[in-house]
Amino acid sequence: SQQGEEDPQALSIQEGENATMNCSYKTSINNLQWYRQNSGRGLVHLILIRSNEREKHSGRLRVTLDTSKKSSSLLITASRAADTASYFCATDAIGFQKLVFGTGTRLLVSP
């Protein structure tokens, strides 16, 4: 299966702490994206990192990509209760012309 795997499956932290979630995938990619989903809602795009990029920032988000290890990480700094959601990585694998989503990390940020 092309599906990426995310680690950890669930993460519980306090407000103000940093949250790190990891994504591993199996095939060569054009880009990797991170999405957020609040319970039972649609997904919202957070950030896209291309295969020739190693790191990207957007506000409190920092994404890294290591194509040699086929892995990516998403760091959310200074977490807030409103960051509570599920986070998914999605890979645009070369030749497949579709986004394949990982299994997701459920993040709980307690006040």
Partner 1 sequence: KAGVTQTPRYLIKTRGQQVTLSCSPISGHRSVSWYQQTPGQGLQFLFEYFSETQRNKGNFPGRFSGRQFSNSRSEMNVSTLELGDSALYLCASSLTGQDTGELFFGEGSRLTVL
Kindly identify the residues of this chain, within the stretch 1-30, that bind partner 1 according to CB under 8 A.
Answer: 3, 30
Tell me, by CB under 8 A, how many residues bind partner 1.
Answer: 22
For the record, the structure tokens of 109 come out as 């940020």
Q: Taking CB under 8 A as the rule, does residue 57 contact partner 1?
A: no
Query: Residue type for 110, please?
Result: S
Minimum distance from residue 14 beta carbon to partner 1 (Å): 27
Q: How far is CA 30 from CA 4, 9, 97, in A?
A: 14, 25, 10
Q: Which residue of 19, 25, 85, 88 would you call a contact of partner 1, by CB under 8 A? A: 88
Q: Taking CB under 8 A as the rule, does residue 40 contact partner 1?
A: yes
Minimum distance from residue 62 beta carbon to partner 1 (Å): 18
